[in-house]
Chain A
């Protein structure tokens, strides 16, 4: 009996496990060159995208850093090939969410929250390649047509059902609705799988390590779970991150990605050092944006995972800010410790002295706290809050 059960389980596993069925992702089809929209639907969609891009180019949220944009473009070109990447315009937006999108006319939006969460070029290539896959397969026009067909059928269905208002007709209308929406969402997920397949195909062909794609998903799942744990939620909400909301279930996806990656590519480099260097100037800003979102679990997870390659003053400082902003008495003691580690690594980091001073003041260590605040003013006399901080220090010569 036991053996019979095991046989069923293994048969089920054989049908479910994508690795057994799927081979590694095929190489992408040959590139056909610049594409022009065809038919009234596609021309309309492109026109809307052109208009949106005009607005986007003038948006204050776009990060105007030529070097950073050039770097992200280079990683895209390394992944999909130089001929393909010519058709793409990249805009990096300062928005602390894990997301990237690409639309039919070749506008790619990359959010700063995505850049913060990735750790190397191979991971960035995996996400950009996935988005490029949607673009190359022209998913947005097909998606539009599928949605229109589905809502058309439902409209006619509703009209006909209202002409024969008996219970049975209404019930079958309800069934129709379920099956059409079910089909439509399945269609969306199939598009995602197709984009995944293409994305890994590009990576297999490139000089980057294709296994990074599944690492991205494992990390995202870890972060969502950490966030839920700290909030005391029973179930992590995987839809909380925009990029994952319409995508296939995370665990299935990570397994599929690992199976599609070319085993021969495992030893390839992933460009972690180059990635860290390119992000160095922006890391403190992206970290600040994340820490101040008040999602303690996710921010702590992110800082810890960035610290896997070594703790820096920037990371200690961000962790200190995270704990001080939550502000439980136990957090303030930890925060002071983290700020101390930051100033040990970089004594010129003025804001770490400020955080240290404030944390010490609040944990009943005023004289040490005042010394740190003095150091802060010394390093940054023009600080925007210098006037307030000066008030918190005793006058020269006066007793404490």
Chain B
């Protein structure tokens, strides 16, 4: 009997521990008005509405947020990609290498870097950069660009991004959503979010 009880107690003790362990990995609420650091970096934002942080990370120094699900609207923060590294984690370093951000990459080439990363990672052929223009981002001279691509699910998505190179590292925030309905519906939420981005 005592044996049994001790087992029960042990089980009761283990359950919350398991819950805690999963909670740390789960999607998380990013509440309105609370300033948070993103992508394990000095980059931080203050959301103007509630967002969800997704638990899955597509690479080192990245973090993804969404409103309705990653396929429908996806904000990805790239918090300081160092020279020599790809934007997202490579499936196989040797067999399927991705393009790297290098010490000589210019701001005007950042849209190409995102384009080639998307094309190589998703093996797609339909990707177009629609506009590239200078913008102040994180208090520095940065680049703002828009793009359109059709993914393997044959859904055409639109995207917008802002990027800046600070002390040789790349900081970028991207927004991707299906051209149909979702992009236009949530682009203003993205603008509100990205406008609050600050560095340091």
Contact = CB atoms under 8 A, between A and B. Distances in A.
A397 B144 CA distance: 28
B97 A60 contact: no
Closest 10 CB pairs of A and B: A385-B132, A294-B120, A289-B125, A388-B108, A387-B133, A96-B125, A94-B125, A362-B104, A292-B116, A292-B119
B98 interface: yes
B94 A233 contact: yes
Contact of B95 (A237, A362, A384, A388): A237
A388 B125 contact: no
Contacts of B99: 294, 325-326
Q: Which of A113, A329, A388 has the most CB of B within 10 A?
A: A388
Contact of A384 (B97, B119, B125, B129): B129
Interface in A246-286: none
B94 A232 contact: yes
Contacts of B133: 385, 387-388
Interface of A: 59-61, 94-97, 112-113, 231-233, 237, 289, 292-295, 325-327, 329, 332, 358, 361-362, 384-385, 387-389, 391-392
B94 A292 contact: no
Nearest to B115: A292
Interface of B: 94-95, 97-100, 102, 104-109, 111-112, 115-116, 119-120, 123-127, 129-134, 141, 143, 150, 154, 156
Contacts of A295: 120
Contacts of A358: 106, 108-109
A368 to B, nearest CB: 16
A149 B115 CA distance: 45
B116 A384 contact: no
Given A325-B99, A384-B132, A96 B106 contact: no
Contacts of B104: 327, 329, 332, 362
Nearest to A232: B94
A362 B106 contact: yes
14 contacts: A61-B125, A61-B126, A61-B150, A94-B126, A95-B123, A95-B125, A96-B123, A112-B125, A292-B116, A293-B120, A325-B99, A327-B104, A385-B111, A388-B133
Nearest to B129: A384
A293 B123 contact: yes
Chain B interface mostly = mixed
A113 B108 CA distance: 28
A292 B147 CA distance: 15
A387 B11 CA distance: 64
Contacts of A96: 123, 125
Contacts of A112: 125
A16 to B, nearest CB: 31
Contacts of B105: 327
Contacts of A94: 125-126
A384 B146 CA distance: 10
A366 to B, nearest CB: 12
B95 A97 contact: no
A231 B120 contact: no
B123 A384 contact: no
Contacts of A113: 125
Nearest to A329: B104
Nearest to A96: B125
Contact of B108 (A97, A289, A293, A389): A389
Contacts of B116: 292-294, 325
Given A289-B119, A292-B115, A388 B107 contact: yes
B83 to A, nearest CB: 10
A292 B141 CA distance: 27
A327 B101 CA distance: 9
Nearest to A231: B94
